[in-house]
Amino acid sequence: MSSPRRLAGEKLVVASHNPGKLREIRELLEPFGIETVSAGELGLPEPEETGVTFAENAAIKAHAAARAARLPALADDSGFCIAGLDGAPGVLSARWAGPDKDFGRAMRNAEEMLQAKGAGSPEGRRSWFVAALCLAWPDGHEEAVEGRVDGTFVWPPRGNQGFGYDPVFLPDGHDRTFGEMSASEKHGWKPGEAEGLSHRARAFARLVGRCFG
Ligand code: IMP
């Protein structure tokens, strides 16, 4: 196996149009002094996410941005999975919020579906976030990692920090939802540490070990 490719001081495209993700990825990159530009700032189109896994969709977004910008590009594909809904919404997490990005509705739908299936038990409420990160270069090379955090789907939603499904996710070992945590608590990670708390920070810690830092 060839050794991982490292970032060599180039500007990095953050290939996301989601403001919540963009903010978190930039916060995680900040200690490394890497200059970033977002796909939106470059006016890049959002490619269609046709993959059936988080990793496939991250690769689609990272390669499209790297080719178009002729720069290395980092993409995150992530989602929220609920055991009692057989892992849904999963790769459809963003789509459940509809075109108006109404995550209040998406969270309510999940709760109603759990109740309708009679799956509102503690086992049915087991849930997890996954983040797949893909760092792609214009020549087609890629480095890919994943991170996951397990916890409980709680109802009603708690807190108004973070984004997306954060207010209904209580990570194992904590008594506050992601929606009640500051960004740094949710990341739970600093350079030099092996593991973070959030799925994104955990994936990021793996990527740092391989490609920069
Ligand atoms: P996509 O990766 O662009 O398909 O969108 C992922 C979707 O998953 C987001 O729009 C959020 O709804 C959800 N999601 C991913 N990561 C998080 C997170 O850290 N907190 C809350 N929701 C998240």
What would the pLDDT profile of 149-206 be if each residue is shown by its tens digit?
A: 999 999 999 999 999 999 999 999 999 999 999 999 999 987 777 789 999 999 999 9
Atom 3, ligand 1: which residue's CA is nearest? 77
H helix or E strand, kind and range, residue 143: strand 142-153
Residues 6+ apart with CB under 8 A from 7: 34, 72, 135, 211, 212
Residue 89: CB within 6 Å of ligand 1?
A: no
Choice from 21, 81, 168 to test ligand 1 binding pocket (greatest atom count within 8 A of CB): 21
Cα-to-centroid distance, 163 and ligand 1 (Å)? 8
Question: Is the CB of residue 79 below 6 angstroms from any atom belonging to ligand 1?
Answer: yes
Q: Per-residue pLDDT averaged across 16-34, rounded?
A: 91
Nearest CA residue ID for atom 22, ligand 1: 164
Please give the radius of gyration of the chain, using alpha carbons only, rounded to the nearest integer. 17
Would you say residue 127 has pLDDT above 80? Answer: yes
Is-contact 164 42, C-beta < 8 A? no
Q: Is pTM, for the whole model, over 0.85? A: yes
